[in-house]
């Protein structure tokens, strides 16, 4: 049963920051980001423990997680039962890989299970989105969508309902905002810059830049959107070099937006020198994580980052 109680992590391949302004983004789910190891029903209290994060929380906590757990209790019908969970983590906490959304998904699945409700993906995502509001105020919906469904998705904040693009109409919608892409997930090396992510500062900085120079930032957002669509075409054709070129251009545009950092730039250069077709920051930037297409050089990229003192904790290989 516990194998069902897992959630995906998330990496944005292309489209950060522009996605806030209703440009599309390409994202990929990272399998088994969080997985419930043990679950004991309780008389109503909600408790969870994530040893890898040194995290112990309950619905009586004053933290954001405690607030989210209390909200979850009000959203899930059925018996008044609760849970005591131990969760294994293959994601770092707070590194831009969707850790909060993954936690929201596994907690939602666990409470639905103990209360005898079906595990329906759309409902799980809806409930997880409500918890993400506790964590982030006004989430885009991207993280909880990927945490729930995994795979590759093309996401637009304001949705695809009005899209008349025949090229996109062939893809299956998993929500109003997300289209599932039936392409193989490329092998990735993911590493941490060692600099804490600065999501709020980076998003606010881009907002101020947009207010002060709307024409300039709109130009960059439009260029990022072109990278996304080039990446989509490369995925369709299974052209790793073309996908890497789109990622490299996207990184240049993110640098122009002011959201990179010296450590990120160093990791990107090291990955490319080690043979990656493309590397870039993933998430808000200012710190956090870098993703690199592995191709045939995954081990070399891992070694290059490790020698430079950067932690690379996830090497994902999938069927091509």
Helices (H), 55-175: 64-75, 99-114, 121-136, 142-149, 166-169
Q: For 275-289, what is each residue's pLDDT tens digit?
A: 999 999 998 899 999
Give the Cα separation of 15 and 178 in Å (integer): 14
The segment with the largest mean pLDDT, out of 45-54, 87-96, 161-170, 282-291, is 45-54
pLDDT above 70: residue 271: yes
Query: Which comes out higher in pLDDT, residue 95 or 267?
Result: 267
How would residue 79 be classed by pLDDT, with cut points 50, 70 and 90?
Answer: confident
Q: What is the mean pLDDT of the chain?
A: 92
Quick one: pLDDT at residue 319?
A: 45
How would residue 78 be classed by pLDDT, with cut points 50, 70 and 90?
Answer: confident
Domain boundaries, the chain: 2-149, 188-316
Strand ranges of the sheet holding 311-316, from the earlier edge strand across to the other edge: 279-282, 289-293, 188-192, 311-316
Quick one: pLDDT at residue 1?
A: 44
What is the percent of the chain with per-residue pLDDT over 90, rounded to a whole number?
Answer: 78
What is the percent of the chain with per-residue pLDDT over 70, rounded to a whole number?
Answer: 95
Is 271 within 8 Å of 307 (Cβ atoms)? Answer: no
pLDDT above 90: residue 60: yes
Quick one: pLDDT at residue 139?
A: 83
- Which phi and psi (to 5°) does residue 131 adopt? -70, -35
pLDDT mean over 231-252: 97
Q: In terms of C-beta density within 10 A (0-12 exposed, 13-18 middle, 19 or more buried), how is residue 320 classed?
A: exposed
Give the Cα separation of 178 and 307 in Å (integer): 38
Quick one: pLDDT at residue 2?
A: 46
Q: For 87-137, what is each residue's pLDDT tens digit?
A: 999 988 888 899 999 999 999 999 999 999 999 999 999 999 999 999 888
CA distances from 180 to 156, 176, 247 (A): 12, 11, 20
Q: In terms of C-beta density within 10 A (0-12 exposed, 13-18 middle, 19 or more buried), how is residue 164 classed?
A: exposed
Q: What CATH number has the domain spanning 2-149?
A: 3.30.230.10
Query: Which comes out higher in pLDDT, residue 79 or 299?
Result: 299
Quick one: pLDDT at residue 316?
A: 61
pLDDT above 50: residue 76: yes
How would residue 163 be classed by pLDDT, with cut points 50, 70 and 90?
Answer: low
Q: For 170-215, what is each residue's pLDDT tens digit?
A: 888 888 899 999 999 899 999 999 998 777 788 889 999 999 999 9
pLDDT mean over 144-167: 83
pLDDT mean over 141-164: 86
Helix, strand, coil content of the chain in percent (nearest 5): 45, 25, 30
Give the Cα separation of 122 and 139 in Å (integer): 17
What pTM does this model have? Answer: 0.89
CATH architecture assignment, domain 188-316: 2-Layer Sandwich (3.30)
Quick one: pLDDT at residue 201?
A: 83
């Amino acid at each position: 049963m516990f194998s069902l109680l897992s959630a995906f992590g998330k990496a944005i391949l292309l489209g950060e920051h522009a996605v806030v302004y209703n440009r599309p983004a390409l994202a990929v789910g990272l399998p088994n980001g969080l997985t419930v190891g043990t679950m004991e029903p309780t008389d109503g209290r909600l408790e969870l423990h994530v040893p890898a994060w040194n995290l112990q929380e309950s619905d009586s906590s004053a933290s954001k997680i405690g607030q989210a757990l209390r909200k979850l209790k009000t959203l899930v019908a059925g018996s008044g039962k609760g849970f005591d969970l131990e969760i294994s983590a293959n994601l770092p906490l707070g590194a831009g890989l969707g850790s909060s959304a993954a936690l929201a998904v596994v907690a939602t699945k666990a409470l639905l299970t103990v209360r005898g409700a079906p595990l329906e993906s759309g409902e799980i995502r809806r409930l997880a989105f409500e918890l993400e509001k506790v964590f982030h105020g006004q989430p885009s919906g991207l993280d909880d969508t990927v945490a729930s469904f995994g795979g590759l998705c093309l996401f637009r904040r304001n949705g695809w309902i009005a899209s008349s693009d025949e090229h996109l109409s062939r893809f299956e919608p998993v929500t109003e905002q997300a289209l599932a892409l039936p392409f193989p997930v490329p092998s990735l090396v993911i590493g941490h810059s060692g600099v804490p992510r600065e999501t709020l500062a980076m998003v606010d900085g881009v907002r101020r830049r947009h207010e002060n120079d709307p024409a300039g930032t709109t130009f960059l957002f439009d260029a990022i959107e072109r990278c996304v669509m080039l990446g989509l075409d490369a995925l369709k054709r299974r052209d790793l070099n073309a996908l890497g070129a789109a990622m490299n251009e996207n990184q240049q545009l993110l640098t122009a937006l002011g959201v990179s950092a010296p450590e990120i730039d160093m990791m990107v250069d090291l990955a490319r020198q080690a043979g990656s077709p493309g590397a870039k920051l993933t998430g808000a930037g200012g710190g956090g994580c870098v993703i690199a297409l592995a191709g045939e050089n995954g081990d070399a990229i891992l070694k290059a980052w490790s020698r430079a003192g950067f932690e690379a904790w996830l090497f994902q290989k999938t069927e091509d």
